[in-house]
Structure 1
């Protein structure tokens, strides 16, 4: 099935897996309030709170939009950096290719590192000194938490293509934090029910101890246990740990039917050690933080038959999008979050055009509108189509390669799909369905 999970802010989340289309899943799946997160800042402007469409001025533009990135060139998510940066560059190229649009984009690429370093803070400080309107990134929710206050306090948009922690949904971000990736409430439900549907009654989990890992683990546990399963072991580790023997021993001692690895690139160490200890490689489950091509890392067949989840559409359905990404970076081996990164650039450019401004606060006022979250605009699928209508003062609803984003009042996408993947004999992975 290839359907989108729809959200409605007044409903509560489903507890059981239906095994079929998940259209109609409640907003708690995509816009659930995070525990302990501060409430969003209130505003007296009803147009910003009620989702009313703001007016769009007709006529030409003369705008120079400067964007920065904090995407992982190093650290535990470095494998996600190349596809994300390629997506950003392709988005900028497509905007700049419309030479008569009256808007040009410049991108300054910087590293986010991971939570073991202060790389992201250094990068953000540098980008803010260059007067960027928005910063795309980070990929890691934990890294974003270290810089979000600094970014939004400067009146700059933070736009992540890959943050999935539910904590951001109601974060006090002055309406300046946005993302094209869905909350882990949805991925956790899909993963937990997938494991149950595969016939496993007990589950062990090895989990990165940060907002991403523990949040996704909890949503997975909730779904798995609601489907009748039992989580019998949950072992945590910290970013920067290099030995996982204690966690492996703790989980395997409980003899679970399946083990979910909710990690980043630590899976490169944990997986061979798990299988080496005697645990079957086809009973492992991976997530977006570690679903990767392991053909060059693992012995043939090590994880054949294991499965994993990853937000986003099947790249095989995206026409020439992946071919165009390869023109930007011929060495790409993974496309995770490339489409979400591309759409971040295009949505920012469309919102800047609609606002006729490169001020971050003004751009943010129009992001929901150009995504179709308000305004009841006409569907468009390219930047060029969008600005043609915006120049006439018309409303638009942009759908890009990552899908129909449609932001809600929290800056979360209200429509998303989670891909289900299975590992092949050569330790590459193939999409086998959508959840």
Structure 2
């Protein structure tokens, strides 16, 4: 063999070894995105998933994540209401897909179930963008559960204050018959009665029924200045409102966050005019930055829990960068560090900046789209958008 040929072969072997090493180091790191792609909030879910994946794409395009790894979102259906199906979906992600963290789940009941049955036993961090029941504040989670949406304990107070500011002092209440609905109803009623209001009836409703005339009849008999509906826009909540409008039982409504959806306006039309409500939302530099980043990527930024979904995925990525690995416990231990002060403030569209600071050994304070502040595992501070439906559109009144 000539020396020239030997050098060529040696170079080829070295090049192949380098390429193999690069491929090995540039691993795909999987994050589960468990949301209700079917079920009572299926119209909200696509925008939430797209927003979470927007953050993952931003991280990948930076080229700064860990040692060249890339993030991949793996979607799974929580159904929002079927805990057995949600647990099976989460189990598949953990055991078959080997995800390192979960962005989700969405509805409170399935979130509690996944945390108790799958995530916590396997030491997997969950960051929910929309599970709001107060029960999650004290869940036995070994500090593996976080959320970017505030608790309904706060929303109940906000919704009661909105009614007071509208001179509403006498209401009927209906809520979806699960952890989310019961928790929000209890929080709202306590706050509303404390400020002197009267609740004529508090009645649960089941999702998935074709006829809500009995429920509407009971609510109408009790009466009230308006009907408070704490349900889901694509399930029982819309059925209750449609029945109330069709029979003239109520002509004005107040809604919780699960009812905020364009599909509700499309389903009810003029009958929703004057409706008031609350939904977790934010304003300011971070919210504006999210809108700009989303629109530039072709993602619609305007919808429930889209900001919270982006923030949940971004926090997971930054926590991995802070810990220097994809170790599940390391992600958990770094979450509060990257979410709160001290550190350089990071907005949507600035994830590359945050990744570089962490790579260099610095600290970040992720502000994100929703002014993220994690009070502790399982709890987040937050603000709410007070809105009114006028001329077929949700109009912002103020932020609370």
Rg: which structure is higher?
A: 2
Aligned with residue 227 of structure 1, among 155, 172, 195: 195
1:272 maps to 242
Higher helix share: 2
Contact 1:70 / 1:135 at 8 angstroms: preserved in 2?
yes
Q: Does 1:97 pair with 2:61?
A: yes
Contact 2:286 / 2:368 at 8 angstroms: preserved in 1?
no
State the Cα RMSD in Å.
2.2
The change in CA–CA distance for 1:349 and 1:126 in structure 2 (over 3 A counts) is same
The change in CA–CA distance for 1:348 and 1:316 in structure 2 (over 3 A counts) is closer
Task: Measure how far apart 1:239 and its partner are.
Answer: 3.5
Listed as ranges, the matches of 1:241-320 within 5 Å are 241-264=209-232, 265=234, 266-281=236-251, 283-293=252-262, 294-299=264-269, 301-314=270-283, 318-319=287-288
Task: Measure how far apart 1:69 and its partner are.
Answer: 1.1
Task: Give the structure-1-normalised TM-score.
Answer: 0.79
The change in CA–CA distance for 1:118 and 1:333 in structure 2 (over 3 A counts) is farther
The change in CA–CA distance for 1:83 and 1:184 in structure 2 (over 3 A counts) is same
Listed as ranges, the matches of 1:169-180 within 5 Å are 169-180=137-148
Q: Does 1:377 pair with 2:343?
A: yes
1:20 maps to none
2:134 maps to 166
1:66 maps to 30
Aligned with residue 124 of structure 2, among 132, 156, 168: 156
The change in CA–CA distance for 1:308 and 1:137 in structure 2 (over 3 A counts) is same
Aligned residue pairs total 367
**Counterparts of 1:324 and 1:369, CA distance in 2:** 24
2:43 maps to 79
Contact 1:65 / 1:349 at 8 angstroms: preserved in 2?
no
Contact 1:312 / 1:419 at 8 angstroms: preserved in 2?
yes
Task: Measure how far apart 1:315 and its partner are.
Answer: 9.3
SS of 2:267's equivalent in the other structure is: coil
Aligned with residue 130 of structure 1, among 97, 117, 126: 97
SS of 2:185's equivalent in the other structure is: helix
> Once superposed, which parts of structure 1, at least 4 consecutive aligned residues long, lie more than 4 Å away?
61-64, 314-317, 326-330
**Counterparts of 2:285 and 2:317, CA distance in 1:** 26
Report Cα offsets for 1:66-88 as digits up to 9, x if no partner: 20111111001112211111111
Report Cα offsets for 1:261-309 as digits up to 9, x if no partner: 000122221112101221343x20011111112343223x211111111
Task: Measure how far apart 1:202 and its partner are.
Answer: 0.9
Aligned with residue 429 of structure 1, among 380, 383, 394: 394
Contact 1:157 / 1:177 at 8 angstroms: preserved in 2?
yes
1:33 maps to none
In the alignment, structure 1 segments of 5+ residues that lack a partner are 1-60
Contact 1:86 / 1:329 at 8 angstroms: preserved in 2?
no
1:50 maps to none
2:331 maps to 363
2:10 maps to none
Contact 2:80 / 2:107 at 8 angstroms: preserved in 1?
yes
1:23 maps to none
Task: Give the structure-2-normalised TM-score.
Answer: 0.86
Task: Measure how far apart 1:116 and its partner are.
Answer: 4.0
Larger RCO, structure (CA 8 Å, separation 6 or more): 1
Aligned with residue 86 of structure 2, among 117, 120, 123: 120
Contact 2:176 / 2:204 at 8 angstroms: preserved in 1?
yes
2:363 maps to 395
2:376 maps to 409
Contact 1:86 / 1:328 at 8 angstroms: preserved in 2?
no
SS of 2:288's equivalent in the other structure is: coil
The change in CA–CA distance for 1:79 and 1:314 in structure 2 (over 3 A counts) is farther
SS of 1:89's equivalent in the other structure is: helix
In the alignment, structure 2 segments of 5+ residues that lack a partner are 1-24
Q: Does 1:186 pair with 2:186?
A: no
Task: Measure how far apart 1:92 and its partner are.
Answer: 0.7
Task: Please say which of residues 377-386 and 201-210 is displaced more in the overlay.
Answer: 377-386
Task: Measure how far apart 1:104 and its partner are.
Answer: 2.0
Report Cα offsets for 1:97-150 as digits up to 9, x if no partner: 101443421111111113247331221121012111111111100111221121
The change in CA–CA distance for 1:317 and 1:422 in structure 2 (over 3 A counts) is farther
